[in-house]
Amino acid sequence: MLKKIGIVVGYILLFATIVVAVVYAHIGADDHRNTQEVTTFDIHIDGADSHALVDVESMYEWFTRHDVNPLGKSIAEVDLAALEQVALTHSAIADVNAYITYDGRVDVTLTQREPIARLRVNGGYDHYISNDGYLFKAKDGYAVYVPIITGNYKPLIDKAFTGNLKQHIEDSIASLGRRIEMLEHDKYPFFRERKKLENRNKDVQDSVIKKPFWLSEDEIKRRESDLEMLKKAYQHKFEVEDKKLAHKIEELDKRQEQLRDKVETLNEIKADYMRFAEFVKSILDDSFWSAEITQIVLSTGDNEAICVGLVPRSGSFFIDLGNTHDLKKKLHNVSLFYEKVLRNVGWDKYHHISVRYDNQVVCKPTV
Contact in structure between 135 and 166 (CB atoms under 8 Å): no
22 & 53 share domain: no
Q: What is the mean pLDDT of the chain?
A: 86
Is 335 among the domain residues? Answer: no
Q: Tell me the percentage of the chain whose pLDDT exceeds 90.
A: 42
256 & 177 share domain: yes
Predicted confidence at residue 224, as pLDDT, reads 83
What HEC string does 243-293 produce? HHHHHHHHHHHHHHHHHHHHHHHHHHHHHHHHHHHHHHHHHHHCHHHHHHE
Predicted confidence at residue 16, as pLDDT, reads 58
Is 8 among the domain residues? Answer: yes
Q: Tell me the percentage of the chain whose pLDDT exceeds 70.
A: 87
Domain boundary among 112, 136, 162: 112
Domain boundary among 247, 269, 291: 269
Would you place residue 23 in the very low, low, confident or very high pLDDT band (cuts 50, 70, 90)?
very low
One-letter identity of residue 293: I
3 & 54 share domain: no
| Lowest mean pLDDT segment, chosen from 67-71, 219-223, 281-285 | 219-223
Predicted confidence at residue 54, as pLDDT, reads 84
9 & 92 share domain: no
CATH for 78: 3.10.20
Q: Residue 25 pLDDT more than 50?
A: no
Domain boundary among 211, 236, 269: 269
Predicted confidence at residue 311, as pLDDT, reads 94
78 & 47 share domain: yes
Measured distance CA(253)–CA(96) in Å, rounded: 48
Predicted confidence at residue 298, as pLDDT, reads 93
Q: Residue 80 pLDDT more than 60?
A: yes
175 & 264 share domain: yes
Q: How many residues does the chain have?
A: 367
180 & 263 share domain: yes
Would you place residue 334 in the very low, low, confident or very high pLDDT band (cuts 50, 70, 90)?
very high
Is 332 among the domain residues? Answer: no
One-letter identity of residue 172: S
87 & 3 share domain: no
174 & 250 share domain: yes
User: Looking at the 3D structure of the chain, how many domains does it have?
Assistant: 3
Determine the angle formed by the axes of helices 327-337 and 217-285, rounding to 10 degrees. 40
Is 191 among the domain residues? Answer: yes
Is 224 among the domain residues? Answer: yes
Which pLDDT tens digit goes with each residue over 141-167?
Answer: 667 888 899 998 888 888 888 898 889
> Which residue did the predictor score with more confidence, 367 or 99?
99
Q: Find the domain containing 180 and state its range.
A: 170-269
30 & 80 share domain: no
77 & 22 share domain: no
Measured distance CA(90)–CA(78) in Å, rounded: 20
| Lowest mean pLDDT segment, chosen from 6-15, 20-29, 62-71, 237-246 | 20-29
Edge-first strand listing for the sheet containing 93-100 = 40-46, 105-112, 93-100
69 & 28 share domain: no
Which pLDDT tens digit goes with each residue over 111-141?
Answer: 988 888 999 988 889 999 988 889 988 876 6
Is 367 among the domain residues? Answer: no
* Residues contacting residue 280 through CB under 8 Å, at least 6 positions apart: 116, 117, 129, 147, 296
> Which residue did the predictor score with more confidence, 7 or 313?
313
Is 139 among the domain residues? Answer: no
Which pLDDT tens digit goes with each residue over 172-221?
Answer: 999 999 999 999 999 999 999 999 999 998 998 888 888 777 778 888 88
Give me the mean pLDDT over the 98-107 stretch: 87
Q: Residue 266 pLDDT more than 60?
A: yes
Predicted confidence at residue 180, as pLDDT, reads 97
Is 275 among the domain residues? Answer: no
Question: What single string gives the DSSP state of each residue in 26-66?
Answer: HHHHHHHHHHPBP-EEEEEEETTTT--S--HHHHHHHHHHT
